Amino acid sequence: MATVIFFEDKDCQDNTLQKAALRAAGHEVVVRDLLAYVWSAHELYAFLRTHPIVEWFDPEAPRVKSGEIAPAWIDAGSALRLLLEDPGLIRRPLLQVNDRREVGFDYEAIDAWIGLRGPVARPGTTPDGCGA
C-alpha cells in the first residue's frame, strides 16, 4: 500500500470521502492544508504539469464560476501566478505518492495508479470537486 500526501481544503466534504476511500484501500493518508501551505511555483507546477490548464482550477471556485477567471483562455504562466496568489482556485485534492504528483481525484485513474478496492462512495457534485 502507498503513503499518499493529500493536500485538501479541510472544509470540503468530497475530500473527506476521498480520504476515506484511500484509507479503505489500505493506504496511509498524510493530510496537508492546501490553502495554508506556502507554495513555490516549481512545487505547485509539479502537480499540474501533466494536465490541461483548465484542470488546474477548481470549477466551483467563486471567481471561476462567476466568469471573472476563464481557465480555458489563460496561459500556463498566468494560471500559475493566479493559483499562487489565491490557492482557493486550485483544484483539489493534490496527491503525491513518491515522486508522482496529481491534481484532482479521478476514481478510475487513482484505482489504476495505486488501487482503490471495493465499492467507493463518490461525491455527488463533480468527480473531484467540493461543489458549492
Residue 46 corresponds to which cell in the numbers above?
A: 509539479
Q: Do strands 28-33 and 94-97 pair parallel, antiparallel, or not at all (unpaired)? A: unpaired
**Burial (CB count <10 Å: 0-12, 13-18, 19+), residue 15:** buried
Calpha distance 78→120 (Å, rounded): 36
* The pLDDT value given to residue 132: 38
For the stretch 100-129, pLDDT in tens is 999 999 999 999 999 997 555 555 434 455
Pairing mode, if any, of strands 3-8 and 28-33?
Answer: parallel
Active-site residue, selected from the candidate residues 7, 8, 9, 12:
12
Report yes or no: 14 and 128 within 8 Å, Cβ to Cβ. Answer: yes
Catalytic annotation present for 12: yes
pLDDT single digits (tens) 10-23: 888 899 999 999 99
57-61, 62-66, 118-122: which has the minimum mean pLDDT? 118-122
What's the fold here for domain 3-113? Answer: Glutaredoxin (3.40.30)
Q: In whole angstroms, give the CA distance from residue 24 to residue 118.
A: 9
Q: What is the DSSP letter of 25?
A: T
Query: In DSSP terms, which residues pair with 90 in a beta bridge?
Result: 57
pLDDT of residue 125: 39
Cβ pair 116, 46 in contact under 8 A: no
Q: Where are the domains of the chain?
A: 3-113
